[in-house]
Structure 1
Amino acid sequence: MGRHSLPDDHAATGGGDRPPRRRRTVVIATMLVLAVAGGTAIAAQGGLLSFSKSCEDSAVHLSMMTSPDIAPAVRAVADRARKDELRSDGHCLDVEVEARDSYKVADELASGTRTPGYQIWLPDSDLWLSRAKGDGDAVAITPGDSIATSPVTMAVVPKAAKSLGWPKKTYSWAELTGAAMESDKVRLGSADPARSATGLLALAAIGASADKQGGDSDTRVAATAKLLAQRMSDGDTQVVATLPQDGSGAEDGNPARNQAVLLSEQAAFAHNAESTGDGKVGLFYPKDGTPLLDYPFTLVNEQKQTTDESRAALRFMTLLSEDSSLRTLREHGFRTTDGTADKAVVAAAGGRAPQPYAEQQPPAPSDETLQETLGMWTITVQSARLTTVVDASGSMATIVPGRNQSRMDVTKASLVQALNQFTPNDEIGLWEFATTLDGDKDYRRLVPTARLGATEKGGGTHREKLAAAFAALQPVPDGATGLYDTILASYKEAQRTYVKGKFNAVVILTDGSNQDERSISRSALIDELKAIADPERPVPVLAIAVGPEADREEVDQIARVTGGGGYQVTDPAEIQAVILQAVMTAGQNARSAE
């Protein structure tokens, strides 16, 4: 979008000093396949704010899909532009605004199954942009400027806020969630981080804060996520509804109501505007920083838009940064794009000094951090049951470039490290495979799939036994890659031992294509997997191609039949992160299908 010149009437309205706007073009390298559903609001239609005849004849009509929280403000700007007959290159501007959850739009665009009927998208966070890019078939999107921001906070009803020392006492994220959850002192709820940028950013901030405390931070964060999951709402609108609006549900005697929720400042502003007395919330702003929702203006299918449409869209983005629009956004509880706090907005939302509501926001969490946070969340919400199947063919002895270690050595270390991301209730087993490894079989079960926290005969935990088995893996000198038979056998075993209520999956790690000429063919394997796949007992195959000789497209084609997918790593040290990504993606795909 930066290549476009501004439409001819840029200076026609607005003016004055405007806060700097940020170009938001960095996106998150994670994929989630999420549920698609219909829109949740009706946009202003012609007739209510009709054009004059001359304007109607020249109007450029645009449709805009907008995060529900900011939709009323954007719709007000669009209505005013229609009423004032605002023009772009001589054409009147008519923008129809519809509200829809950002995760739903991201899924629709990522799937690429149909051409969207809108030209503009305004999600609540730029973390959705890369999810919308999918894995190759997605509708093209062009990120533009952020038009507003809102910090992520914790909203607390008066009685619970007082018990936590609000507003004088300040906490880090880890301290605040720890204090809120201590002995069920405060019932804390959250929107699903897989469907809510607010929930995900808050959970990532909690994790970063826990890391600074030192000690077993992973365990503490997983415990926090587990407790949040027990009071989880599908989305931001639903989690706000768990708060009392008039004080009637704020007392301890109503366990159905939350006393605190992870919420944006703007959502608290809107809630307080509709609430009375003890129904209003106070806001805690953690002293280690409040991440921002940033509302990136995004063009959809720009290459298929006419010149008039793309320039009209750019004109509307510019309009949203002008003084009159900034006032409208402020009136709806939003901050400017640089995150500067407005005392009136903060006060209406429930912020009070000395809460650090005006402190500089921390840097946005990295792609890797968000990916790991989502992976941890998926595993925590629904305990995992994974059969890990590791290639033990001779090629795994190949030295990794830049390291004095073999593929197998680096793979083993990465698997042991990945174990730290799983809880004692997760179940993991281990197979290895190479041609003629066990008589005529290309595969061998080394450790049965069981709870990591279970006590093993002779002492020690299953986690310790599995870590030792990972460490003992060795390449079979003359072994070739017996991939197809192994996939089928491990899939059938995972189906046979399926545990309801857990995320069941088979994780295959291979550094090559199938080399067993006696095995089932690829087409026959795919047909067999299709035939035995059971939607009531889903077992996605998560296939990780390790090294340059591995065929990611081949394993992806096979894995997709089961609801899983294929992934590629050039360095086995990346396996830990990719396992989390694969679990997260497949886990959310399964949940969205429910």
Structure 2
Amino acid sequence: MGRHSLPDSRAAEGRRDRPSPRRRRRTVVIATLLVLTVATGTAVAAKAGLLSFSRSCEESTVRLSVVASPDIAPAVRSIAERAPAEEMRADGRCLVVEVLARDAHKVAESLAAGDEKPDFQVWLPDSELWLERAKGLGEGVPVSPSDSVASSPVALAVVPSASRKLGWPEKTYSWSALVAELGADRVRLGAADPARSATGLLALAGIGASSARQGGDSDTRVAQTAKALAERMSDGDAQVLGTLARSTSGAEEGNPKRNQAVLVSEQAAFAHNAEATGGGELDLFYPRDGAPLLDYPYTLVNEADLSVAESRAALRFMTLLGDRDARAVFAEHGFRAGDGSAEDSLVAAAGGRKPQPYATPAAEAPSAKELRETLGMWTITVQSARLTTVVDASGSMATPVPGRGQSRMDVTKESLIQALEQFTPNDEIGLWEFATTLDGDRDYRRLMPTKRLGDPAEGGGTHREELTAAFAGLRPVPGGATGLYDTTLASYKEARSTFVKGKFNALVILTDGSNQDDRSISRSGLVAELKALRDPERPVPVIAIAVGPDADRDEVAEIARVTGGDGYEVSDPAEIRAVILQAIMAAGQNGLVAQE
């Protein structure tokens, strides 16, 4: 089933010239709505109350609760007020829509956890990236996305004195060149936390993609950019605008605590300029290699549990958000149409001007994997990590990986060495291996201590170089079985006893099988021990990765979750690097970093 289209009045306007493959791939499962509008046709639509009736609204109503991103909530609320005023109906009953403003990252985390039944039926996040976050490990509340109701590109807003130094509006830049120019001219740049802001994350991903196209050591350049952004980071989009110099006075703009440029959406700049006085309006730079879009997908929440009346109300409101009057309301609030097309008057009010490439087709949306890696890089860069890596060396790790001509161990080693490149010299990483009777009666052996990658090694070089060699030297133990439980307990105890405040402390365990040591502690005993050892003031989450078809994801997940971590499953060891970054990001979002 393809992505559901809005009614003809909206669809007739066309689509973006170059829709991204990710956007085309997004599947939609608004089954009830499609039954109403396609399977049974106009007669059912009339019976359902999608056409107008004159019966008094006092007799019956159907209520719909919508949670929207704070930036778009006022516009959606204004449109929703039309429903009772014009006696709009769904299922023969008058439609009443309540619109609540909530941060998208908080909603996504709540849905992914699935701990409580949502108190709303429709969600309008500012970006589809939150839909991936809301899915979590597939155990949360399901979401069903449809088309975008509006959009806004991510751009660079600059105070006038700094924009003139950068050659605005005549001079244009790619993302990577723009960031480099800001650093060269020492223009103070601020951004919202990419872990909490779609604007911040999409901008950072855009900078990374632009830097990669430039070639050279792009990872280092992007990490440097992330580090600089972290020093001037705000919690959210509204807060980052508050960090700007508020006047053109020399004292204000010379204040080192005040930013001269911020990464924001066009709509945020529009709203800021509408209220700015005394020359406080912002100028916008649009990257010539394409600005990513905030796309505001209309999303059903827990669709299977919606009543027929709620489903029909959701369709009626989706139709309302796509009509001519609604589009005018969105434009009045600074939003583009859902296809990203630009109106010159809106762009001018936001601070854009030709020849800035504000009408250039939007950059292709980054994939879910690319976003996970960007967030993982961000977490690693701004929060130094202390990781103990524990690798399964049992005989089954010699099993060939289908289609690769390498064993599980070979591919695992390559993935770990690649992941190591993402860490800075201040990050601390160690290595253990495990298999039954590996070291006398013990199932585990510490190969490298957990210490700074930049520390000098005894024989010359650095700890990073020693660790790389240790990863490369891992070998399966012939006849060795998986001694998972004793190893987990021993490595967790050490990670907890050597805990370092101010860093992201974690234990990364990779295994291709379930516990096979009959002499070890039981699973229930291990869980009880870990639960007793866990200290919220000194968090050490376990990131447990089940590798290959023989691994037990449920087993490692149960063990990891006791510590505040989680279990992951990869069919191909080549996926390990991305999963480690994803897991670090997820744990960092959950506040598992002890402060100094």
Q: TM-score, normalised by structure 1?
A: 0.91
CA deviation string 1:53-102 (max 9, x = no partner)? 92132221111100111111111111122212222343222111111111
Q: CA deviation at 1:132?
A: 1.3
How many angstroms apart in 2 are the aligned matches of 1:88 and 1:250? 58
Give the drift of 1:177.
Answer: 1.1
What's 1:74 paired with?
76
Which of residues 54, 70, 73 in structure 1 aligns to 2:56? 54
Alpha-carbon separation, structure 2, partners of 1:293 and 1:4: 19
Q: How far apart are 1:247 and its partner, in Å? A: 4.1
Q: Tell me which residue corresponds to 2:411.
A: 410
In structure 1, give the amino acid aligned to 2:110: E
Pairing of 1:458-469 with structure 2 (within 5 A): 458-469=459-470
Rounded to whole Å, the distance in 1 between the matches of 2:594 and 2:67 is 23
The one-letter code sitting in structure 1 at the alignment partner of 2:588 is G
> In 1, Cα distance between the equivalents of 2:26 and 2:423?
27
CA 144–16 in structure 1, closer or farther in 2 if over 3 Å, else same: closer
Please state whether the residue corresponding to 1:525 is helix, strand or coil: helix
Alpha-carbon shift at residue 475 of structure 1 (Å) = 1.1
Listed as ranges, the gaps of 5+ residues in structure 1 are: 29-51
Secondary structure of the structure 2 residue equivalent to 1:421: coil
Q: Could you tell me how far apart the structure 1 residues matched to 2:555 and 2:256 are?
A: 51
Which residue pairs with 1:239 in the alignment? 240
State the percentage of identical aligned residues. Answer: 69
1:5 deviation in Å?
Answer: 11
Q: C-alpha distance in 1, partners of 2:3/2:191?
A: 40
What is the match of residue 258 of structure 2? 257
Do the aligned residues in 1 keep the contact of 2:223 with 2:377 (CA within 8 Å)? Answer: yes
| Inter-CA distance 443–274: structure 2 relative to 1 (3 Å threshold) | same
Q: Quick check: 1:112 aligned with 2:114?
A: yes
| Residue of structure 1 in register with 2:162 after alignment | 160
> What is the CA-CA distance between 1:422 and the residue it aligns to?
1.0
Contact 1:106/1:128 (<8 A) preserved: yes
Partners of 1:250 and 1:279 within 8 A in 2: no
My pick for the range that moved more, 205-214 or 129-138, is: 129-138
**2:298 maps to what in 1?**
297
Cα pair distance change 1:72/1:26, threshold 3 Å:
farther
Deviations 1:168-202 (A, max 9, x none): 1111111111211236x111111111111111100
CA 203–250 in structure 1, closer or farther in 2 if over 3 Å, else same? farther
What is the distance in 1 between the residues matched to 2:556 and 2:159? Answer: 51
Which whole-Å CA distance do the structure 2 matches of 1:136 and 1:361 have between them?
30
Q: Provide the residue aligned with 1:344 in structure 2.
A: 345
In structure 1, the residue corresponding to 2:401 is in which secondary structure? coil
1: distance between equivalents of 2:488 and 2:213? 41
Given that residues 161 and 248 in structure 2 are in contact (C-alpha distance below 8 angstroms), is that contact kept between their aligned partners in structure 1? no
Q: CA distance change for structure 1 residues 400 and 18 in 2, over 3 Å: closer, same or farther? A: closer
**Aligned residue pairs: how many?**
566
Structure 1 residue 464 displacement after superposition: 0.8
Return the alpha-carbon distance in structure 1 between the equivalents of residues 14 and 223 of structure 2. Answer: 39
| Inter-partner Cα distance in structure 2 for 1:302 and 1:200 | 28
Backbone CA RMSD of aligned residues: 2.4
TM-score, scaled relative to structure 2: 0.91
Deviation at 1:424, TM superposition (A): 1.4
- Structure 1 CA distance for aligned equivalents of residues 530 and 445 of structure 2: 20
Which residue pairs with 2:529 in the alignment? 528
Q: Deviations over 1:356-412 (max 9, x none)?
A: 111111211112211110110111121111101111111111111112211111111
Instruction: Give CA deviations for 1:419-450 in whole Å, capped at 9, x if unaligned.
Output: 11111111111111111111221111111111
Which SS does the other structure have where 2:400 is aligned?
coil
Please give the secondary structure, in 2, of the residue aligned with 1:433.
strand
Provide the residue aligned with 1:126 in structure 2: 128
Q: Equivalent residue for 2:86?
A: 84
Q: Distance in 2 between matches of 1:380 and 1:286?
A: 24
Return the letter of the residue paired with 1:120: V
CA contact (8 A) 1:414 1:576 kept: yes
Question: CA contact under 8 A between 2:3 and 2:146: conserved in structure 1?
Answer: no
Q: Shift of the alpha carbon at 1:27?
A: 6.0
CA distance in 2, matches of 1:5, 1:100: 26
Q: Give the distance between the partners of 2:250 and 2:137, measured in 1 at CA.
A: 45
Distance 1:186 1:250 in 2: 15
Inter-partner Cα distance in structure 2 for 1:5 and 1:191: 32
Contact 1:27 1:126 in 2 (8 A): no
Output one character per residue of 1:446-487: Cα deviation in whole Å (capped at 9) or x when no partner. 111111122212221111111111111111112211111111
Residue 222 (structure 1) aligned with residue 223 (structure 2):
yes
Q: Partners of 1:464 and 1:443 in 2: how far apart?
A: 23
- Work out the CA distance in 2 between the residues paired with 1:523 and 1:210: 48
How far apart, in 1, do the equivalents of 2:380 and 2:10 lie?
Answer: 50
SS in 1 for 2:514: coil
Answer whether contact 2:191 2:263 (CA < 8 A) is retained: yes
Correspondences of 1:141-160 after superposition (within 5 Å): 141-160=143-162
8 A Cα contact 2:66 2:122, kept in partner: yes
Instruction: Tell me the equivalent position of 1:180.
Output: 182
- CA deviation after TM superposition for structure 1 residue 504, in Å: 0.5
Call closer, same or farther: CA 1:250–1:232 in 2, change over 3 Å. farther
Residue 238 of structure 1 deviates from its aligned partner by 1.2
Q: Deviations over 1:256-276 (max 9, x none)?
A: 221111100000000111112
Distance 1:114 1:268, change over 3 A: same
Shift of 1:26: 5.0
Deviations 1:287-316 (A, max 9, x none): 111000000011112222222221111111
Q: Contact 1:19 / 1:337 at 8 angstroms: preserved in 2?
A: no
Describe the shift of the 1:15–1:202 C-alpha distance in structure 2 as closer, same or farther (beyond 3 A).
closer
Q: 5 Å matches for 1:314-463? A: 314-463=315-464
Instruction: Find the aligned partners of 2:4 and 2:15 in 1 and give their Cα distance.
Output: 19
Choose 419-428 or 174-183, whichever is displaced more: 174-183
Q: Is the 8 A contact 1:383 1:426 kept in 2?
A: yes
How far 1:140 sits from its partner (Å)? 2.3
CA distance in 2, matches of 1:104, 1:186: 32
Q: 1:132 to 1:250 in 2, by over 3 A?
A: farther
Specify the SS of the correspondent of 2:432.
Answer: strand
Q: Letter of the 1:328 partner, please give it.
A: V
Amino acid at match of 1:531: A
Q: Contact (CA 8 Å) 1:488, 1:525: kept in 2 or not?
A: yes
Q: Distance in 1 between matches of 2:593 and 2:61?
A: 39
Gapped runs of 5+ residues in structure 2?
A: 28-53
Q: Is the 8 A contact 1:547 1:569 kept in 2?
A: yes
* Inter-CA distance 136–517: structure 2 relative to 1 (3 Å threshold): same
Give the SS at the match of 1:590. coil
Task: Using the TM superposition, give the Cα deviation of residue 25 of structure 1 relative to its aligned residue in structure 2, in angstroms.
Answer: 7.6
How much has 1:167 moved relative to structure 2?
A: 1.2
Does the CA contact (< 8 Å) of 1:24 and 1:126 recur in 2?
no
Q: Which amino acid aligns with 1:448?
A: P
Contact conserved, 1:67 with 1:122, CA < 8 A, in 2? yes
Give secondary structure in 2 for the equivalent of 1:57. coil
Distance 1:58 1:593, change over 3 A: farther
Aligned to 1:298, the other structure's residue is in SS state: strand
Secondary structure at 2:334 match in 1: coil
> Displacement of 1:508 after TM fit?
0.6
8 A contact 1:148–1:329 mirrored in 2: yes
Residue 284 (structure 1) aligns with: 285
In the aligned structure 1, how far is the partner of 2:558 from the partner of 2:273? 50
Q: Which amino acid letter does the alignment assign opposite residue 128 of structure 1?
A: W
